[in-house]
């Protein structure tokens, strides 16, 4: 019995490791194993079916010779730049205004933030209707007396990507507001009092003192929004379906189309690997610094 | 969120102060309209008849309340070739979301507890490794996951989606509980150990009861994420096993017949209502999930 109880004592001591090991295994298999598989497929001859014959960079050459991929990359840049800058501007403005002892702040905050609870598919469906060239905003303005007004961005290949920006900003700018408001609330009241005593006006206080103190909030908000932008898939599908043609394709919709509709697994894997590399370049330095901060 | 104790920046008296306050409220209310108008348009369009939609304008309110679009969206709208409305797909989403939320939350709590209160060599490394999984673009796992589900015989099924969401939700739930437990004093765990309680005894009797707020935040967050998911749903299910987001997209993008905008809007509200209701009821917890998600995104 002596050895039995010693065994159970040792088991008890190892229990935390035992409990965590399935998590570790799941992560190794479903995250790292899958990434390796996708990365490997991107270096093979895979077409409709996976083919494990090594083929060097051929799939990447095909990817970068596909005009549609360039459209996707260009859209990603246009979308990300506009989405981040407009969301930041709205977020900062609303956070600063809400921080002025507004009595019904709770209600207003709830209104600003509710689109975040919706699915991008719901957002896309609503905006598709609002932006409908025949019956939406266009007709509203025409009914107001501007007979020649046209607003057909949704079906115009040159402008459709901006409609995706509009819907995305509507959905996510409240999130930027919430992050900045939390940041403003962490600024010590003494700082504001000191600024007031020094005779600094509201504009100077914010642009000169408060906002520079919020640099970490800026950084994390930009990274969160960039991360959202790179992964954006649902909204494009619901709003434009990637169209007209493939005018609003993004890397995420490109990958999906090549993987599941055109069955070009090699190219799809290569595009997914490119996406992963982009996210890694943004997120790993950020995570590293965040983890060092929490580790103290 | 805590309130400012002193009177903000704009605090001087006089007519200029009144003007500034007026301007402040005007801008705040303008943005309220900006966020609310799409919701109002969605609701009012869903209550109009098609004839009224064609004649009226986007912002006009319905003249008579016509609920036929709602009945149609719920039980007769065509999703692909099947015309039973959204009801079966809402049910699919419930069957998928409830177990996936429960599994990922429970395992996240257990792992967060083991990683913080029973620190062992390498715990931080394991955590960093797992955490990365919360940030990967899921496109990079779509192809191997599709093959794995096929291999397990779960391709195109709701249990397959439960597996996928549990696995990829785990990174975030572990992160959230780890951050919560770091703030919990080790003394409580040590006192329970002195009393002879073991690993699971402490977890179920001491740690879980005091983590109710963290559990609520995680459940709300996971519920919103999984209910609103589209990518996994569209990639891993076909037809009858689609979650409601995929079914909604199919309803809206059906190219056959006359476009029924009122049915589209009613369907969108039905798909969005569960997460919206959670937000309205438990908004504070939702916001805490968002700021915890600041590290997740």
Per-residue DSSP letters for A147-216? TT----GGG-TTTHHHHHHHHHHHHHHHHHHHHHHHHHHTS-HHHHHHHHHTT--HHHIIIIIIHHHTHH
Residue B1: the pLDDT is 46
Q: Is there a contact between B167 and A127 if contact means CB atoms under 8 Å apart?
A: no
Q: Residue A222 class from Cβ within 10 Å (0-12 exposed, 13-18 middle, 19+ buried)? A: middle
pLDDT in tens, B140-186: 999 999 999 999 998 889 999 999 999 999 988 998 888 888 878 78
CA distance, residue B140 to nearest chain A CA (Å): 5
> Domains of chain B: which residue ranges?
15-66, 87-295
Q: Is there a contact between A90 and B31 if contact means CB atoms under 8 Å apart?
A: yes
Q: Is there a contact between B144 and A37 if contact means CB atoms under 8 Å apart?
A: yes
Nearest Cα residue in chain B from A200: B9
| CA atoms of A107 and A174, how far apart (whole Å) | 13
Residue A285 lies in a domain: yes
Q: Is there a contact between A97 and B28 if contact means CB atoms under 8 Å apart?
A: yes
Nearest to A224 among B6, B248, B297 (CB): B297
Residue A41 lies in a domain: no
Residue B92: the pLDDT is 92
Query: Could you tell me if A219 and A143 are in contact, meaning their C-beta atoms sit under 8 angstroms apart?
Result: no
Contacts A233 to B, Cβ<8 Å: 139, 230-231
Residue A268 lies in a domain: yes
For an interface test with B, give the residue of A18, A23, A293 to mutate (most B CBs within 10 A): A23
Q: Is there a contact between A271 and B139 if contact means CB atoms under 8 Å apart?
A: yes
Residue A43 lies in a domain: no
DSSP one-letter code for B205: I
> What is the ipTM for the molecules in this complex?
0.87
Residue A243: which of A86, A80, A128, A84 has the closest Cα? A128
Tell me how far CA of residue A130 lies from CA of A133, A140, B65, in angstroms: 9, 10, 20
Residues 6+ apart with CB under 8 A from A271: A63, A69, A72, A251, A254, A255, A258, B139
Q: Is there a contact between A140 and B59 if contact means CB atoms under 8 Å apart?
A: yes
Nearest Cα residue in chain A from B200: A15
Phi, psi of B79 (to 5 degrees): -110, 100
Q: Is there a contact between A99 and B8 if contact means CB atoms under 8 Å apart?
A: yes
Nearest to B38 among A126, A178, A271 (CB): A126
Residue A293: the pLDDT is 67
Contacts A185 to B, Cβ<8 Å: 1-2, 4
Token pair belonging to A160 = 């459709």
For an interface test with B, give the residue of A35, A125, A261 to mutate (most B CBs within 10 A): A125
Domain of residue A74 covers: 68-295
DSSP one-letter code for A47: S
Q: Is there a contact between A23 and B170 if contact means CB atoms under 8 Å apart?
A: yes
Phi, psi of A35 (to 5 degrees): -65, -45
Give the number of other Cβ atoms within 10 Å of residue B187's Cβ: 8
Question: Structural domain tally of chain A?
Answer: 1
Size of interface A-B (CB pairs under 8 A): 288
CATH superfamily of the domain spanning B87-295: MetI-like (1.10.3720.10)
| CA atoms of A283 and A296, how far apart (whole Å) | 20
CA distance, residue B164 to nearest chain A CA (Å): 9
CA distance, residue A104 to nearest chain B CA (Å): 10
DSSP string, B64-105: S--THHHHHHHHT--BTTB-S-SHHHHHHHHHHHHHHHHHHH
Query: Could you tell me if B234 and B43 are in contact, meaning their C-beta atoms sit under 8 angstroms apart?
Result: no
Nearest Cα residue in chain A from B226: A119
CA distance, residue A85 to nearest chain B CA (Å): 17
CATH at A152? 1.10.3720.10
Q: Report, as ranges of residue numbers, the positions in chain B whose pLDDT lies below 50.
A: 1-3, 5-7, 10, 295-297
Q: Is there a contact between B8 and A112 if contact means CB atoms under 8 Å apart?
A: no
| CA atoms of A135 and A153, how far apart (whole Å) | 13
Residue B162 Cα to chain centre, angstroms: 15
Residue A289: the pLDDT is 78
CA distance, residue A203 to nearest chain B CA (Å): 9
Phi, psi of B82 (to 5 degrees): -95, 130
| CA atoms of B138 and B135, how far apart (whole Å) | 9
CA distance, residue B118 to nearest chain A CA (Å): 6
Q: Is there a contact between A231 and B138 if contact means CB atoms under 8 Å apart?
A: yes
Contacts B1 to A, Cβ<8 Å: 109, 181-182, 185
Looking at the DSSP assignment, which residues form a beta bridge with residue A54?
Answer: A44
Q: Is there a contact between A227 and B287 if contact means CB atoms under 8 Å apart?
A: no
| Residue written as token pair 């205004």 | A97
Q: Is there a contact between B24 and A140 if contact means CB atoms under 8 Å apart?
A: no
| Residue written as token pair 């598709």 | A128
CA distance, residue A232 to nearest chain B CA (Å): 10
Taking only the tens of pLDDT, chain A with its 296 residues reads 455 567 777 777 788 888 888 888 888 999 999 999 999 999 988 888 888 888 888 889 889 999 999 999 999 999 999 999 999 999 999 998 988 888 888 889 889 989 988 999 999 999 999 998 888 888 888 887 787 787 888 888 889 999 999 999 999 999 899 888 888 888 877 887 888 787 777 778 888 888 888 888 888 888 888 888 888 899 999 999 887 888 999 999 999 999 988 888 899 999 999 999 998 988 888 878 777 766 54
Contacts B140 to A, Cβ<8 Å: 34-35, 38, 272-273, 275-276
Residues 6+ apart with CB under 8 A from A106: none
| CA atoms of B290 and B168, how far apart (whole Å) | 18
Nearest to B140 among A196, A234, A276 (CB): A276
| CA atoms of A250 and A229, how far apart (whole Å) | 10
Residues 6+ apart with CB under 8 A from B24: A97, A100, A102, B10
Q: Is there a contact between B24 and A102 if contact means CB atoms under 8 Å apart?
A: yes
Residue A203 lies in a domain: yes
């Amino acid at each position: 019995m002596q050895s039995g109880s010693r065994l159970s004592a040792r088991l008890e001591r190892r229990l935390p490791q035992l409990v965590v090991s399935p998590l570790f295994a799941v992560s190794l298999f479903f995250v790292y194993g899958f990434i390796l598989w996708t990365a490997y497929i991107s270096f093979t001859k895979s077409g409709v079916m996976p083919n494990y014959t090594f083929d060097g960079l051929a799939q990447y050459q095909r990817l970068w010779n596909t005009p549609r991929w360039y459209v996707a990359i260009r859209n990603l840049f246009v979308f990300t730049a506009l989405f981040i800058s407009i969301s930041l501007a709205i977020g900062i403005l609303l956070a600063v205004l809400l921080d002025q002892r507004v009595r019904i702040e709770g209600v207003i905050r709830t209104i600003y933030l509710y689109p975040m609870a919706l699915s991008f598919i719901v957002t896309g469906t609503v905006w598709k209707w609002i932006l409908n060239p025949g019956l939406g905003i266009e007709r509203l303005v025409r009914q107001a007396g501007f007979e020649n007004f046209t607003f057909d961005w949704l079906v115009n290949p040159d402008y459709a990507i901006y409609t995706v920006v509009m819907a995305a900003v509507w959905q996510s700018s409240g999130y930027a507001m919430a992050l900045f408001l939390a940041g403003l609330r962490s600024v010590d009241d003494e700082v504001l009092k000191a600024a007031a005593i020094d005779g600094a006006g509201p504009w100077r206080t914010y642009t000169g003192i408060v906002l520079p103190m919020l640099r970490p909030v800026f950084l994390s908000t930009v990274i969160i929004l960039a991360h959202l932008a790179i992964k954006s898939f649902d909204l494009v599908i619901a709003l434009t379906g990637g169209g007209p043609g493939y005018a609003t394709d993004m890397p995420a919709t490109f990958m999906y189309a090549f993987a599941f509709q055109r069955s070009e697994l090699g190219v799809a894997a290569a595009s997914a690997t490119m996406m992963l590399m982009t996210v890694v370049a943004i997120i790993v330095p950020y995570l590293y610094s965040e983890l060092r901060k929490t580790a103290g | 969120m805590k309130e400012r104790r002193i009177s903000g920046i704009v605090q001087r008296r006089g007519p200029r102060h009144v003007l500034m306050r007026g301007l402040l409220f005007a801008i705040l209310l303008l943005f309220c309209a900006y966020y609310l108008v799409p919701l109002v348009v969605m609701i009012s369009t869903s209550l109009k008849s098609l004839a009224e939609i064609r004649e009226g304008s986007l912002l006009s309110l319905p003249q008579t309340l016509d609920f036929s679009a709602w009945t149609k969206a719920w039980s007769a709208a065509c999703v692909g070739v099947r015309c039973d409305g959204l009801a079966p797909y809402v049910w699919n989403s419930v069957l998928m979301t409830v177990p996936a939320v429960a599994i990922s939350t429970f395992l996240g709590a257990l792992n967060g507890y083991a990683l913080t209160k029973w620190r062992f060599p390498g715990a931080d490394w394991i955590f960093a490794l797992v955490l990365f999984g919360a940030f990967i673009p899921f496109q990079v796992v779509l192809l191997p996951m599709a093959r794995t589900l096929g291999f397990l015989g779960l391709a195109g099924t709701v249990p397959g989606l439960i597996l996928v969401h549990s696995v990829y939700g785990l990174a975030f739930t572990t992160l959230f509980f780890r951050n919560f437990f770091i703030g919990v004093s080790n003394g409580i765990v040590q006192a329970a150990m002195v009393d002879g309680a073991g690993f699971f005894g402490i977890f179920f009797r001491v740690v879980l009861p005091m983590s109710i707020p963290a559990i609520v935040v995680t459940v709300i967050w996971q519920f919103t994420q999984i209910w609103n998911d589209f990518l996994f749903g569209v990639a891993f299910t076909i037809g009858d096993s689609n979650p409601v987001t995929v079914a909604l997209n199919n309803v809206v993008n059906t190219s056959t017949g006359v476009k029924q905008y009122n049915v589209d809007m009613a369907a969108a509200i039905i798909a969005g209502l569960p997460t919206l209701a959670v937000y309205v009821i438990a908004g504070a917890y939702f916001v805490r999930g968002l700021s915890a998600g600041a590290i997740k995104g």
